[in-house]
A = this chain, B = another copy of it.
C-alpha cells in the first residue's frame, strides 16, 4: 500500500457538485494546453461563464484546482497498475499490459497526464504536491520489479538497467501526450502496440542485425 490510496476526495466530500467537476474539467484542459502558470484564473472563469472571484466559491485556490486534478489521475492510475501486477501474468505479458494501461490513460486522463508531464518538476517542489513524487516512486517500483523478474527468468536481456529501461518507456509514453491527437488516424491502441513492440522486441528484425 502507499500514498495515493484514498484518492480524489473533493474537499467537502464529493458532494453533488456537477458544477465543481465541470469547472475542474475546464481548468484541466486549459492548464494542459497553456500551462498552469500561463492560465489565469480569469480565463478559466471566462470559459465557465462566471466571474473570476466566483471560482473561489468552489475552490480554495488555483493551486487547489491543480491538486485535485492530479490526485484524481494519479490515484486511479496507480490502482490500475496494481491490478495489472496482481493479475500475475508473465513479465513479458505484464510489460505489454502496463504500456497499454499507460496509453489508455491518454483517453481518461489526458489533461492530467499533460499537466503532470509538463509541470511535475516545478510542482514537486511544493510540499502540497509531495504525493507526485511518491506516486512516481511507486510506478517505478512496479516497473522495475517486473523488468527484473523478466531478466531473472531469462526473458529479458541481461545487462540492461531496469531503472533506465523504466525511464525510457515512461518518458516516451508520457511525452506522447504532447503530440497525441484523439481525432487523428492513429488509435491509442495502435500506438500502444507499436511502442510495446519497439520496447520489448526492438527495432531490429529477428536475425536482422
Interface set of A (CB-CB < 8 Å, partner B):
34-35, 37-38, 92, 95, 118, 121-122, 147, 150, 154-161, 164-165, 167-169, 171-172, 174-176, 178-179, 186, 191, 194-195, 197-206, 208-209
Is chain A's binding surface mostly helix, strand, loop or mixed?
Answer: helix
In the assembled complex, 17 residue pairs joining A and B whose CB atoms fall closer than 8 Å, in A order, are A118-B121, A150-B203, A156-B208, A157-B197, A157-B201, A157-B203, A157-B204, A159-B197, A160-B197, A161-B186, A164-B186, A164-B191, A167-B179, A171-B171, A199-B202, A199-B203, A202-B202
Among A155, A161, A201: residue with most chain B CB under 10 A: A201
Q: Which chain B residues lie closer than 8 Å to A159 at the CB level?
A: 197
Cβ 8 A contact of A209, one of B155, B168, B194, B204: B155
Contact present for B167 and A176 (CB under 8 Å): yes
Q: Which residue of B lies closest to A34 (CB)?
A: B122
Provide the bound-state CA to CA distance between A147 and B204, in Å.
10
A95 CA / B176 CA spacing, docked (Å)? 21
Q: How far is the CA of A95 from the CA of B156 in the complex (A)?
A: 22
Q: Is the CB of A203 within 8 A of B171?
A: no
Q: CA A92 – CA B204 in complex, angstroms?
A: 8
Please, which residues of chain B bring their CB within 8 A of the CB of A165?
194, 198, 203
Residues of B near A208 (CB, < 8 A) are 154-157
